[in-house]
Chains A and B, each alone.
Chain A
Amino acid sequence: MADPTNYHIVVIGGGGTGAALAYDLAQRGYRATLLERGELTSGTTGRHHGQLHSGARYAAGDRSIARECMEETRVLMRIAPEAIEYNSGLFVALTAEDEAFAETFVESCAEAGIPTERLSAEACLRLEPGLNPAIRCGVRVPDGTLDAWRLPLHFFAAARGHGALIRNFAPVVGIELDRTGVRAVRMRDLRSKREEEIGCDLVINAAGAWAGQVAGLAGVSLPLTPAPGSMLAVRKRLTNLVVSRLHPAGDGDILVPQRGLSIIGSTQWQTDDPDDVVPSDEEVEFLRESAVAMVPGFAEAPYQAAWAAVRPLAGASVDVEAGRALSRDFVTIDHGKNDGVGGLVSLIGGKATTLRAMAEQAVDVVGGLLDVSRECRTAEYVLPSHRAYYRNHATEPERSA
């Protein structure tokens, strides 16, 4: 068995996935360096909808993804409770079709281990008086609201506490190979405007919708289609619970309350350039109408912002409907086995909610490749606060979760 301290692993991408990877690697004893081209979580992670997914939304489509969400929800509530408004969620039926879906919905949740509570329209309105009074019934589930920036910052703080080096404004511009595989990465330090070569034993590509570009630097083809989705926020908190439409996952069907805001999302389209994503007038109008249908007060609340975040869809030419089913899962790809480029692993997809589990799986794969047998222990400790990332991060003692 090999000693992890002998290995230097470079993580490319400072979103939630990279944050969880850096922490997991450092906690298992690897030397870890994370490189992010801009500010931390300036890709998809900071901009997502902010829902802590119990998995209920995915249960009818895929039980195992739903089960994973539920498990990770429980873990995050233990290790990062201050990054979560945990007020539960309500799926509401607006049409007879929605109402008919309730049975399937509740059964699928049960199969995925997600507790539900069926509620009459009156009971729903007693919990959330702002709901459309015409709703037919509802189902309550253990959803919540995440702080999209502060949750990953908890992981970044823990990573630094364990000795990982986190570098922002550090785009990777090249991956150097030798006969066996990856030997180093080349990074452009935007602070000094100089290029640096960083030697390493293995690279984990966690560049999300940009992962195809990063793999390309090593000559590996990883066909991903950037699929942006838009959100609209208004300046009024209308509910305490996350409110979703009781129907198979679709567009504009989740209203997430956060601080003093209400945020409706999302949509999905496809593009070639993950850096060119701006919501259209039509989307903003569609989102507003979708929100109003569930919570009428949304119509009068003042506009705060409309923006988009980008999913990486596997396969270059998948259509949108197939894409929706595909995009929820995550994969760890060993490019040594797949493409003959050793020392390169990609971790793509998933959800902000499952960041920890994604990292666990990928670092297990890395352990297999490097012959290191260290168990993942990231579910066992309470993470340091988000502020600790910028403070005396090394001094906060570890507390069991």
Chain B
Amino acid sequence: MSERNRTVAVYRNREVGFQEFTVPENERTTVLDALEYIRARIDPDLMYRHSCHHGSCGTCGCAVDGKFVLSCLTRLGDLEGDVVRVEPLPTMDHIGDLAVDPTKFFEEFPEGLTYLRPSEVNAKAERPEDVAEYTRFENCIECGLCVSTCPVTADFTGPAALAAIDREIEKHPEREDEMLDLADGKRGAAACERALNCSRVCPTGVYPAKHIAFLNRKLGKRRAAEKE
């Protein structure tokens, strides 16, 4: 494993702007590893969010060299340039350095959405009698990258919550009406400008733009049915 040094410029605050740190790097070193190194060895005050270190919790989103990514899955070795620039996500409330408060993001999710879904793996395989259905967690890890990259400037429920609402309809068709009510209106699915940035940035393949399109189609159908 070859080790070399790399410069990482981390956003601190309005007065300081970016602060540069030198960190050791090998083939696997991620931006999050670099932040961990800085906090442990150089500045214990450094604020950043992280938990799982493998792309499942969704806490570690940030802008690296201008792109919205999960810091735990972004390897320094895959980034060009001598200096790696790391900034907080712009759409959540900034609380210090790279850390943001995701409250506003979570408030867009309606109460009572389920988080488990049927597993698609080995669909034809046998299942034990005591397991009613193989399940797994939703792909969406609620990282908010899609919301950060969305160009819609008007008041908007946002891609993540809308995708979750459509997933709920797919899993529980009996909840369709209740869910469509949540996606209806000016700040709902209709506000989407179809830029598709959200689907491109999503680290777990949720394709929120596709779900928003599905919602608009379902809303259209419902409106047509109501007119009849």
B53, B58, B122, B136: the one within 8 Å of A258 (CB): B136
Select which of B54, B95, B106 is within 8 A of A191 by beta carbon. B95
When each residue 50-63 of chain B gets 1 if its CB lies under 8 Å from chain A and 0 otherwise, what string results? 11111111110000
CB pair A305–B128 under 8 Å, yes or no, is no
Contacts A46-B57, A85-B136, A87-B135 given; does A276 touch B40 at CB 8 Å: yes
CB distance from A295 to the nearest CB of B (A): 12
Cα–Cα distance between A251 and B73 once the two chains are bound (Å): 25
- Is B96 touching A190 in the complex (CB atoms < 8 A)? yes
> Which residue in A171, A238, A275 is a CB contact (below 8 Å) of B36?
A275
Contact of A169 among B40, B95, B134 (CB under 8 A): B95
Contacts of B181 in A (CB 8 A): none
- Tell me the bound Cα distance from A145 to B131 in angstroms: 14
Quick one: which of B58, B95, B119, B137 contacts A240, CB cutoff 8 A?
B119
Q: Is B224 engaged at the interface, CB distance under 8 Å to the other chain?
A: no
- Do A47 and B139 touch (CB < 8 A)? no
Please determine whether B125 and A385 come into contact, CB atoms closer than 8 angstroms: no
Contact (Cβ within 8 A) A307 B54: yes
Indicate whether B39 reaches chain A with its CB closer than 8 angstroms.
Answer: yes
Say yes or no: B115 contacts A129, CB within 8 Å.
no
A residues near B50, Cβ cutoff 8 Å: 38-39, 42, 46
For A38, what are the chain B residues with a Cβ–Cβ distance below 8 Å?
39, 47-48, 50
B142 partner residues in chain A, CB cutoff 8 A: 387
Q: Chain B residues with Cβ under 8 A from A391's Cβ? A: 103, 106-107, 109, 111
A88 and B128 within 8 A (CB): yes
Measured in the bound complex, the distance between the Cα atoms of B95 and A190 in whole Å is: 9
Asked whether any CB of chain A lies closer than 8 Å to the CB of B45, the reply is yes
Give chain A's interface residue range (CB within 8 Å of chain B). Answer: 35 or more
Of B30, B45, B119, B137, which contacts A193 at CB under 8 A?
Answer: B45
Report if A150 contacts B (CB, 8 A).
yes
Determine the distance from Cα of A281 to Cα of B29 in the docked complex, in whole angstroms: 12
Indicate if A147 sits at the interface (CB-CB under 8 A): yes
User: Does B49 make an interface contact (CB < 8 A)?
Assistant: yes
B33 contacts partner chain A, Cβ-Cβ < 8 Å? yes
Total count of chain B residues near the partner, CB < 8 A: 58
Query: Could you say which of B36, B47, B111, B136 contacts A237, with CB atoms under 8 Å apart?
Result: B136
Q: Is the CB of B30 within 8 A of A305?
A: yes
**B127 and A304 contact, CB distance less than 8 A:** no
Q: Is A296 an interface residue (CB 8 A)?
A: no
| Cβ of A11 to closest chain B Cβ, rounded Å | 18
CA distance A303 to B102 in the complex (A): 28
Binds B, one of A259-267, A334-342, A359-367: A259-267
In residues 205-241 of chain A, which contact B (Cβ within 8 Å)? 231, 233, 237-240
User: Which residues in window 52-79 of B have CB below 8 A to A?
Assistant: 52-59, 72-73
Q: Is B126 an interface residue (CB 8 A)?
A: yes
- Nearest to A47 among chain B residues (CB) is B53
**Residues of A contacting B29 in the complex (Cβ-Cβ under 8 angstroms):** 278
- B195 at interface by CB-CB < 8 Å: no
Q: How far is the CA of A193 from the CA of B13 in the complex (A)?
A: 12
A380 within 8 A of B: no
Pair A40/B51 contact, Cβ less than 8 Å = yes
- Identify which of residues 105-138 in chain A touch chain B, using a CB-to-CB cut-off of 8 Å: 117, 126-130
CB pair A305 B72 closer than 8 Å: yes
A140 and B128 contacting across the interface, CB-CB below 8 Å: yes
Residues of B within 8 A of A388 (CB): 111
Q: Which of A82, A127, A275, A284 contacts B40 (CB 8 A)?
A: A275
CA distance A386 to B58 in the complex (A): 13
- Chain B residues, Cβ within 8 Å of A233: 54-55
Chain A residues with CB under 8 Å of B205's CB are 260
Closest to B59 in A: A39
> Which A residues are CB-close (under 8 A) to B125?
126-129, 240
Instruction: Give CA–CA (A259, B121) in the complex, Å.
Output: 10
> With A257-B121, A387-B109, A390-B107 given, can you name 8 additional A-B contacts, CB distance below 8 Å?
A42-B49, A126-B125, A129-B122, A130-B122, A148-B56, A149-B56, A238-B121, A305-B54
Contact surface of B with A, Cβ cutoff 8 Å: 1, 28-30, 33, 36, 39-40, 44-45, 47-59, 72-73, 95-96, 99, 102-103, 105-107, 109, 111, 113-116, 119, 121-122, 125-128, 130-131, 134-139, 141-142, 204-205
Query: Considering the complex of A and B, which 10 residue pairs feature the smallest CB-CB distances, nearest first?
Result: A46-B51, A149-B57, A390-B106, A307-B53, A275-B40, A305-B54, A240-B134, A126-B126, A39-B49, A233-B54
Q: List 13 A-B contacts (CB under 8 A).
A: A38-B39, A41-B51, A86-B135, A88-B131, A126-B125, A148-B51, A191-B47, A240-B119, A259-B137, A385-B111, A385-B115, A387-B142, A390-B107
